[in-house]
Each structure stands twice: as C-alpha cells, then as structure tokens.
Amino acid sequence: MSKKKSSTDLSYEDFAEICRVCLSYGELQPFNINLLDIYRYLIKVEDEMNYIFPQNICKICTKQLEDISTFIDNCKNTEETLKVIYLDRNFKKYLSDNSDTDYDIEDNFDTFESNVETENKVLYDKKNRAVKEELQSDYDKKTKTKKELRRELKKIRNQANPLPCNICNK
C-alpha cells in the first residue's frame, strides 16, 4: 500500500518518488503522455511547471484519469450523436419545406404549359410558324428545367446520412 506524506513533510527531493496527482509513495509509473495531457487540461497546468513537477503517477490515480478520459470521450461522442440527430431533423424539415415549394414551382410550370399552349394556338391561327417554333423552343427549355428540378429533388431525398456515427460508424 502506498503511503502519503503530509504536504508539509514533502520536499523537492521527494518529487522523483511521489505521485504527481495524490503525492503518495509506492507503486509509481511514468506519466503516460495522454493521461498527462488530460491532467494538464483539467487543472490548467502551466507548461513551464510541467517538467519541474513530479513525472510519476500511482495506479489508483492512473485508473481515475483513465475513467475521466473515457467519460470525456463518451461526452464528445454523445454531443456528436445529438448534433447528427439535430442536423438530420433540420435537413428533413428543410426538404419538407422545400418540397412544398417545389410542388408550387411544378404547379407554376403547369400554368406556364397551358399558357404556352394557348399562345401556340393563337400563333398557329395566324400562321406565324417562326414565332411558334421559338415559343416551342422556350417551352422545351422550361420543361427540361422542370425535369432537372425533379431529379435534383429526388437526389436530395435519396441521399444517405452525410455524417457517420462516431460510435457505431453507420
């Protein structure tokens, strides 16, 4: 079992033989760089003091820092999961909101189509084939645009989740 001296009984000469975290003597090991980074982050150690202070840690403190590290990783993963869920919800809402707009656009195309047909009949009656062909060409361009809009909408709806899960990688 490791012994712990009172902080008033410690001296600089003890640094090589004590745990950096709890100041106990006993079964020590060098501070793992990852655990040292976590420790420094948690207590805001100044860089210049890091190399002067004890560089060893006991098994109990190692376990506690590993648990803290696991806890921090779990929290980060949870935050990422929540962010993905939130973004997915907003993306679906965006698609839903825009799909209504797209249908309105399609309705406008339908109105446009009927207007073009009416104009074409008038032009045909006047036997002005050149103007009729020009309008027909414009109509074809608008029809292609409508098809392109539908394709784009279909692509967006069929897209897989853009962000993989950090926990299960799905």
Binding residues for Zn(2+): 19, 22, 58, 61
Which residues carry a binding-site annotation? 19, 22, 58, 61
For 23, 39, 50, 58, the CA distances from 64, given in Å and listed in that order, are 15, 11, 20, 10
Residue 20's closest CA among 67, 52, 46, 47? 52
CB-neighbour burial class of residue 37 (10 A; exposed 0-12, middle 13-18, buried 19+): middle
Contact 1, 22 (CB under 8 A): no
Euclidean distance between CA atoms 154 and 163, whole angstroms: 19
Euclidean distance between CA atoms 126 and 168, whole angstroms: 69
Which token pair is 130?
Answer: 């050149």
